[in-house]
Every structure is written in structure tokens, then in C-alpha cells.
Structure 1
Amino acid sequence: MRVPRSFAFIDLSGFTALTAREGDERAVGLLSTFRSIARDVCSRRGVRIAKWLGDGAMLVSVNETALLATLLEIQHAMKTSRAALSVRCGATNGDVLLHEGDDYIGTPVNVAARLCDLAPGGAVYVTRELSEFRPEWSAIAEISPLEVKGFDEPLDVVAIEFSVLVGEAHACPICGIPLDPSVATTSARDAIGALVLFCSESCHDTWVRRPRLTPEEQGSLRSPLMGS
């Protein structure tokens, strides 16, 4: 059966060298952090981890925007966790064959894997077609067409990144993604009336379900970056 899907491959850039340099125990600790972050982000955004691939993973989604948001959030979470390695990502979308109920066969899978291999640490490489579904709070960074193994012609690929600089904006209270009112998906007011911005409806819904702080508690935790 042929189905439309979006695919991404992610992995820890420099993992093999770190393992050789710092030992297996250090590598396993870093890998555990990476997998924990990936599980949390994918679960909240509705993206499936199709398989773990050593120091990486294959992700699948029926929602292109959710997939791209997931990649950017995983990168951001790894960076803010002060992990020793960054994450590189490659993604595309298209029709594939669903094989035996849980495997996918087709060119989009191969393209996503190749783009991940070509991306430097900290980069998200996606086909231009997929980039049209990027979140409002992200932006395109143009790169030259890429020569990709197995393809006769260079692929039209771009990088996606945050459109608002970290540290110069509000931060979504659930995932920490930098936002300003012009790119936030939705907003709310907290217990003391301060503006709270969200990168997605899923983050907003998670925030709404959390135990609410009293105005006094909220005031003691208020960030100087939060609006009034």
C-alpha cells in the first residue's frame, strides 16, 4: 500500500569520535540523554520514532509541520542540556510503500537518510518542498544544491533554523523555543496577567493541563523576557 509520509533521520554528530576519546560509559550517558529528549519531544508533537539506529533514529509523521518542529526542538533541547554533541537532521516527504505494516520503502526514505549524512552538526537539511511546511517561528537558510549519492541531479535543499534568536525573545514555557508575538502559534495570560507565547497548540495544551501556580508563586518565577 502506498501512503504519504514525512521522514527524518537524526543522529549525534561526532559520536564515534567521542566514544573513542572519552569511553563507552560517557557515550552511553550521552546517548541516553539524546533518546530521552527525542522520546519526550516526539510524544508531545505526535511524531513516531520508527526505529533507533545506534546513535540516531528514523522519525515518521503524517504532519509535515510537526516533524520539522520536532527536529528543531530536539536540537534546541540537546543544546540547552549542555550535551557534548549536537544533532544533525535530514528530512523530506513523499509517497512510499508501507511494507508489512511498520516499514517504509521508497525514495523519500533514502533522501532523508542522505541529507542527514550530509548535514553538519546542528543543522537541519530538508528538501525545498518540505520546507514549505515549516513552523511560523522558523526560517529558511539557503544552501547550494547538493550532490547526493544515488541521484543523477543535485537536490534542491535548504536548511531551516529559528527565525528569532535565542536570548532575544520570549520562550515557549514547555519546549523553550524562542518566539516573539509575530511568529507564535498561540498565546495566553498567566496567573499575574503576563503574556505567554506558545510554539504550537500541543505546547499550549500541555501548559493548560499543568498545575497552576498562585500569582505569588508565578511572580517569583517570572522571567525578565516575559511580556506584560
Structure 2
Amino acid sequence: MNGSNAVAVLFVDLSGFTALTEVHGDTEAADVAEHFAELTRAVLTSPDRLVKTIGDAVLLTSTTPTSGLELIRRILETCSEADHFPALRVGAHVGPIVERHDDIFGTTVNLAARITAAAAGGQILTSRPIAEAAHAAGIGVLDIGLMSFRNLMTPVALFDLDFGAATASGGVDPVCRMRIRTSTAAGRLRHRGTDYQFCSLACAAAFAEDPERFSEP
């Protein structure tokens, strides 16, 4: 299809992927990114499309804001079940796209990418149309105000979505930024009154060597 049509455009990426790569190496990082793509493909339904993978991120479309929200929920849920897996961050926008050779282009895609870059680990940021659909579906919506993006003339209203249990991710290893469950933590250390858990003894050793680098301020 070469024309334009309005769809929900979603970017989902792995938060802290650079830290994961530095600590665990290129091969394990590539394995995690590949596993993330496989998990995403497994939850696609008829309204959804995985356009492409981009390193540690996936670019997706869904036909409506509501189906886009359901896709986000399924991705969050399936990834939350994977232990020793990075937190996700999501950015989403709705609008027309142009399709060329199995790829998509346009302002909608560019803005969705910018919104994703503004999200923190574990955060789902969207523009107004998806936020309105989320509110109608009973999903928690927090208006975080207008945000200006470089090379865009008009500020964009952004909203933080709360999917509740679907986004619960347990603890986060302060070194490699992977999510971990207390029951599977390889090590635990206390620093300045705060308990930290680690996915591996290597991460615990790195923290012990320089706790100020990794500890909370």
C-alpha cells in the first residue's frame, strides 16, 4: 500500500539496553533483543503489524487506538513474565502513515519515536487520541502536560498510562538494569540503608567495587 491511512503507531524498546550490553556482553544483549522480538510476534493479532525491529526496539502499527492499547497490554504482560528481562518503555501516537516497501514513514512515525525517547523505563507515554481511548477503557491516565520536541513547531500533549499489574516489574538490577524477582536474585547487597538485588554475581561484584556509581542518589 502506497497511500496514507490513520493507524496507531507504537515504538516499544528495552530500557537500559546499553547498560545490559556493557555488563553482559554483545552476545547476551543480542539474544535478549531477539527474544523480545519473538515475544512481540507471539502476541500479535489481526489488527496488528510488526513493521520492523530496530536494534533493541520494535516498531508496530495497529488499526485503532483501542487495538493499539490491547497490543501494548499483551506485550507488557508477556514480557513481565520473563525473568531477568529489561523494563520496557513505550511511545504511541495516532495519525496517517505512508507505506513503502513494507516500511512506514511520516510525521506520525517520527512523533511516536520522539515520544518513546521521552519515556523513562517502565513508562508508557502517548498522545491524546490513545489516552482518550485508554480513559474510556478504564486504564489509568495521567496528563503530564505539553512537551516541545525539536523541529516540531507545536508542543504535544502527553499522557502517562498505568496498566496496573501488567506493568509490575519487580526489582531492577542497578548495574545492568534488568528486572529481577526476589526469589531468583543471584545476590543482595545493602548500601547506605538501601537493599539492592542483582541478576548475577558479576553484577553484584561490579556494584560492590563502585557502589556510588550505581546506587540511588
TM-score (norm 1): 0.65
Q: AA paired with 2:66?
A: T
Runs of 4+ in 1 over 3 A off after TM superposition: 163-167
How many angstroms apart in 1 are the aligned matches of 2:73 and 2:99? 27
How many angstroms apart in 2 are the aligned matches of 1:30 and 1:152? 37
> Out of 17, 20, 24, which is 1:18 matched to?
20
Q: How does 1:14-163 map to 2 (within 5 A)?
A: 14-42=16-44, 44=45, 46-100=47-101, 102-134=102-134, 136-162=137-163
Does the C-alpha gap of structure 1 residues 70 and 165 become closer, same or farther in structure 2, counting only changes over 3 Å? Answer: closer
Is the contact between residue 90 and residue 116 of structure 2 (CA under 8 Å) also seen in structure 1? yes
Q: Classify the secondary structure of the residue corresponding to 1:132.
A: helix
Is the contact between residue 7 and residue 59 of structure 1 (CA under 8 Å) also seen in structure 2? yes
Q: Classify the secondary structure of the residue corresponding to 1:133.
A: helix
Q: Which consecutive residues of structure 1, in runs of 5 or more, have no partner in the other structure?
A: 168-228
How many angstroms apart in 1 are the aligned matches of 2:82 and 2:46? 20
Is the contact between residue 49 and residue 61 of structure 2 (CA under 8 Å) also seen in structure 1? yes
Q: Which consecutive residues of structure 2, in runs of 5 or more, have no partner in the other structure?
A: 169-217
Deviation at 1:68, TM superposition (A): 1.6
Q: AA paired with 1:145?
A: L
Does the C-alpha gap of structure 1 residues 111 and 165 become closer, same or farther in structure 2, counting only changes over 3 Å? Answer: closer
How many angstroms apart in 1 are the aligned matches of 2:5 and 2:54? 23
Identity %: 28
Deviation at 1:146, TM superposition (A): 1.6
CA RMSD of aligned residues (A): 2.2
Q: AA paired with 2:125?
A: Y
Q: How does 1:188-199 map to 2 (within 5 A)?
A: none
Does the C-alpha gap of structure 1 residues 137 and 25 become closer, same or farther in structure 2, counting only changes over 3 Å? Answer: farther
Is the contact between residue 77 and residue 166 of structure 2 (CA under 8 Å) also seen in structure 1? no
Q: Classify the secondary structure of the residue corresponding to 2:110.
A: helix
Q: AA paired with 1:32?
A: E
